[in-house]
């Protein structure tokens, strides 16, 4: 009983100390954060203004991309508390993008906004944040450390919808063979890479002004939204370790995506079949092992149509209706390691070798 009383007393004292410090002036009170998309005009808030809001304290732990664990006793106002000052809440937005002083940025998607607390933390263990972390650090309990943006200097609130459904899938390993490749020095290695701008210019609508975010997913389940500008000024490393890997010299390492499974730019999905074979359930059809046609659609968010146009690297196309697909279809790798398609329908087996793209027709 005495132990419980002691623990409670110490915990209460720690919380009171944090709340006391939270309301006291500090050296970084005049530092500003730019707020965009919340009101008609963009504006700035200071750390001192944030410190006038009610605070909470959370003991949190998360994992970095390398598996390292990080933890904190984070204190600060909730994002929702800040938003209520403007008659808003997290669920009002499709994304909230946080940007750091070193240009690292991450968009928190709608599902996290709807289900997680987000702290605008300026204390850790009851102390103001160190220079390399503060003055404000975003902390999202229960989510990966990639969302924990330190040195946060900007918040962008986005209300745009998801846009049009993707209706085209391009296979990355096939497309890359047809694009200019260049040497890319990455740590101690020199690998081959393609420019994302070349990839999109060749196979999607690079002039689509509606593309503000590009969705990326890695083999390990990592999901993130990148700005259209950042995506188009980057590369995809197609050889060497962790390939395919989204990266760029001007982007912090934490914004890179290794073992890229797919990227969605507007209505086009860029999909890496080799990565898919390593991380998705395999299917066997007619003695061949590969990925079920339906599985790829399920994974990438493509919605089925009445018919499908399969195009090879040589420019030949085959249009198949739903009825023609029969058994459903399989994407496998041919003897050269390139994606190929097969299905067994009413007219027998259909094969499309050296597959470049699949388009959904109405």
> What tens-digit pLDDT sequence spans the chain (362 residues)?
444 343 344 444 445 555 556 667 778 899 999 999 999 899 999 999 999 999 999 999 988 766 788 899 999 999 999 999 999 999 999 999 999 999 899 999 999 999 999 999 999 999 999 988 999 999 999 998 999 999 999 999 988 655 678 999 999 999 999 999 999 999 999 999 999 999 999 999 998 887 888 999 999 999 999 999 999 999 999 999 999 999 999 999 889 999 999 999 999 999 999 999 999 999 998 889 999 999 999 999 888 888 999 999 999 999 999 889 887 899 999 999 999 999 988 888 899 999 999 999 98
State the pLDDT at residue 320.
94
Taking CA atoms, 90 is separated from 75, 109, 157, 158, in Å, by 19, 10, 9, 11
Whole-angstrom distance, CA of residue 248 vs CA of residue 194: 11
Domain boundaries along the sequence of the chain: 28-158, 168-275, 283-361
Are 235 and 274 in contact by the 8 Å Cβ rule? The answer is no
Say which residues have a Cβ less than 8 Å from residue 11's Cβ, sequence separation at least 6.
Answer: none
State the pLDDT at residue 14.
46
- The residues facing 269 across adjacent strands are 169, 264
Comparing CA positions, the residue from 217, 205, 225, 204 lying closest to residue 298 is 217
Class of the CATH-defined domain 28-158: alpha beta
State the pLDDT at residue 12.
46
State the pLDDT at residue 105.
92
Are 168 and 268 in contact by the 8 Å Cβ rule? The answer is yes
State the pLDDT at residue 6.
39
Extract the tokens encoding 80: 């929702």
State the pLDDT at residue 163.
61
Whole-angstrom distance, CA of residue 294 vs CA of residue 167: 14
Burial 40-66 (b: 16+ CB within 10 A, else e): eeeeebebeebbeeebbbbebebeebe
State the pLDDT at residue 212.
84
Between β-strands 152-158 and 32-36, what pairing exists: parallel, antiparallel or unpaired?
Answer: parallel
Say which residues have a Cβ less than 8 Å from residue 255's Cβ, sequence separation at least 6.
Answer: 104, 105, 106, 226, 230
């Amino acid at each position: 009983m005495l132990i419980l009383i002691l623990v409670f007393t110490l915990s209460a004292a720690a919380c009171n100390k944090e709340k006391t410090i939270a309301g006291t002036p500090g050296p970084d009170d005049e530092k500003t954060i730019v707020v965009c998309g919340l009101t008609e005009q963009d504006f700035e808030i200071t750390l001192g203004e944030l410190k006038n809001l009610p605070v909470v304290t959370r003991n949190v732990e998360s994992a970095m991309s390398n598996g390292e664990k990080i933890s904190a006793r984070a204190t600060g106002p909730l994002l929702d508390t800040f938003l209520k000052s403007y008659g808003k809440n997290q669920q009002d937005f499709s994304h909230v993008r946080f940007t750091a002083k070193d240009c690292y940025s991450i968009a928190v998607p709608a599902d996290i906004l709807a289900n997680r607390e987000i702290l605008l933390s300026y204390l850790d263990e009851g102390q103001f944040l160190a220079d390399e972390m503060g003055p404000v650090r975003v902390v999202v309990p229960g989510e990966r450390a990639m969302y924990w943006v330190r040195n946060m200097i900007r918040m962008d609130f986005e209300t745009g919808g998801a846009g049009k459904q993707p209706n085209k899938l391009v296979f990355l390993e096939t497309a890359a063979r047809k694009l200019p490749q260049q040497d890319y020095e990455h740590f101690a290695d020199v690998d081959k890479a393609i420019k994302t701008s070349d990839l999109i210019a060749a196979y999607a609508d690079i002039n689509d002004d509606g593309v503000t975010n590009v969705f990326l997913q890695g083999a390990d389940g990592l999901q993130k939204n990148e700005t259209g500008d950042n995506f188009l000024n980057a590369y995809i490393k197609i050889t060497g370790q962790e390939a395919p890997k989204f990266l760029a010299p001007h982007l912090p390492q934490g914004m890179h995506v290794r073992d890229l499974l797919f990227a969605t730019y507007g209505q086009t999905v860029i999909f890496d079949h080799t990565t898919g074979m390593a991380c998705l359930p395999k299917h066997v059809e007619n003695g061949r092992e590969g990925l079920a046609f339906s599985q790829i659609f399920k994974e990438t968010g493509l919605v089925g149509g009445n018919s499908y146009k399969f195009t090879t690297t040589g420019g030949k196309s085959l249009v198949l209706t739903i009825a023609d697909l029969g058994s459903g279809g399989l994407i496998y790798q041919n003897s050269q390691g390139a994606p190929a398609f097969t299905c067994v329908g009413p007219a027998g087996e259909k094969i499309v070798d050296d597959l470049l793209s699949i388009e959904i027709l109405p």
